[in-house]
Every structure is written in structure tokens, then in C-alpha cells.
């Protein structure tokens, strides 16, 4: 395994804004808008406050270049899990490269501190046969992600 670190450079709170009551908003992964986002700032102590029942998007400090015979999955660190924080990162497919967008959900009814520039999740690597068509060969839509939050794409 390998611990990935949450960057403090790009953090976005999703869907926790006050909207006009006449506007019916629905988060649609096929038509995601940055109007759902609010910038989060890290304090001098190195954390940001994640409101109750909300989620944020962040990005890893590390850049990855996954070989065509390796797949990786991420699991949240136990300290965050025991605090009601769910960390989600989709699989790092064989042949994928870039910085990881990290989803951070607060499942509790209280605000929670989330610390940047510390371990947020652990990657587990699985080696196998070279895949028939790697992520890079099929030109996956999230290939070569920059060191910033990447929103859903169709």
C-alpha cells in the first residue's frame, strides 16, 4: 500500500450553498455545473472545516503513472472513517496517469476537520497480466488529470 496526501491547493465544497428557493437544483453527473461549488480554504493549522452532511472535492499531492499491468484501489484511512468521514477515489486503472481527484464526505451531523498535506487514503496495488486495452490506449476521459479538482465528464 501507499498513503496518498490531500493537497491544500484546490478544495471545493459541493452543494452546500444557499440557493434561491424558487430554483430547483439537482446534482447531475452528466451535466455537472461549477455553480454547485464553493472554494474551501485551509487554516494556518492545516485543516478545513467540512460542514455536516456535505462533501468536498480535493486533489492528491502525488502524481501517478499506473503501468498497463497494474490496477490500484483506494481505501480511506481508519482515523477518518472512525470520525464519520468517507473517502472515495475511483480505481486507478491500468495505464492511467495524473493527479487523483478525492471525494470527501462528512456522514455526521457535526462539522469535521479534514487535514491537508497528511495521509487521506491508502492505495492498494494489484499486479496482473497486461490488460488488452489500457486506460491510456482507449483515451479515457480522465487521463492526464492536472493538479486541480476535475469535475464529472460525460
Catalytic residues: 103
Beta bridge partners of 124: 73
Matching residue, cell 452546500? 16
> What separation in angstroms does the CA of 6 have from each of 29, 31, 99, 102, 117?
23, 26, 11, 8, 5
Region at 149 (left for phi over 0; alpha for psi -120 to 50; beta for the rest): beta
> What separation in angstroms does the CA of 66 have from each of 4, 18, 114, 128, 140?
14, 40, 27, 12, 13
**Residue 20: HSE in the Cβ half-sphere, 13 Å Cα cutoff:** 3
Amino acid at each position: 500500500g501507499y498513503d496518498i496526501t490531500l493537497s491544500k491547493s484546490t478544495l471545493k465544497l459541493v452543494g452546500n450553498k444557499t440557493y434561491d428557493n424558487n430554483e430547483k437544483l439537482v446534482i447531475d453527473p452528466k451535466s455537472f455545473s461549477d455553480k454547485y461549488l464553493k472554494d474551501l480554504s485551509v487554516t494556518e493549522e492545516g485543516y478545513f472545516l467540512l460542514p455536516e452532511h456535505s462533501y468536498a472535492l480535493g486533489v492528491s499531492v502525488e502524481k501517478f503513472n499506473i503501468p498497463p499491468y497494474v490496477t490500484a484501489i483506494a481505501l480511506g484511512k481508519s482515523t477518518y472513517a472512525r470520525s464519520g468521514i468517507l473517502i472515495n477515489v475511483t480505481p486507478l486503472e491500468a495505464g492511467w496517469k495524473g493527479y487523483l481527484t478525492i471525494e470527501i464526505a462528512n456522514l455526521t451531523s457535526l462539522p469535521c476537520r479534514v487535514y491537508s498535506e497528511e495521509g487521506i487514503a491508502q492505495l492498494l496495488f494489484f499486479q496482473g497480466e497486461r490488460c488488452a486495452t489500457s486506460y491510456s490506449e482507449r483515451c479515457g476521459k480522465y487521463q492526464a488529470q492536472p493538479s486541480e479538482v476535475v469535475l464529472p465528464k460525460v
